[in-house]
Structure 1
Amino acid sequence: MGIEVGGLLGLIWLIIVIWAIVKVVKSSASGLAKLLWILALLLFPLVGLIVWFLFGPKG
């Protein structure tokens, strides 16, 4: 049962990270800022997502 729960949580986490990347791409930030945010989200998924929620581009 632990494998199924871990797989489900991993899938949810993947969806959240992909959603954040899509929001970054659609934002009005500069190209370099978008690239840096996407790299932060991919290289540091937990920390990058938290920092993006707090300081990321809005709108």
Structure 2
Amino acid sequence: MLDNMLSYSGGLVGLIILILDLIVIFEVMNSNREITGKLGWSLLVFFFPVVGLILYFLLSGRSEHNARYEAIV
């Protein structure tokens, strides 16, 4: 039983990373960054999914570039 659960855990982790990558790419495309910044972040996340996610959430300055988002009150 445990072996069966462990065999599917890699697929679940991959699915979670894919979903997070898609969220980051959509967030980058909707930000007010220049096109080179959008392209750079998108390529980083596309070619290095795990490292790109970590770097994006740590270094991207998301609060500065999310002017297009409206606050939900």
TM-score, normalised with respect to structure 2: 0.73
1:3 is displaced (CA, Å) by: 2.4
Corresponding residue of 1:55: 59
Give the share of equivalent positions with the same residue, in percent.
39
Moved over 2 A (4+): none
Structure 1 alignment gaps of length 5 or more: none
Q: Which has the larger radius of gyration?
A: 2
2:38 is the counterpart of 1:41: no
Please give the alpha-carbon distance, in whole angstroms, between the structure 1 residues aligned to 2:10 and 2:51: 20
Over the aligned positions, Cα root-mean-square deviation in angstroms equals 1.1
TM-score, normalised with respect to structure 1: 0.88
Please give the alpha-carbon distance, in whole angstroms, between the structure 2 residues aligned to 1:47 and 1:10: 14
1:56 is displaced (CA, Å) by: 1.4
2:4 is the counterpart of 1:7: no
1:21-32 equivalence runs, <5 A = 21-32=25-36
- For 1:56, the aligned partner's letter is S
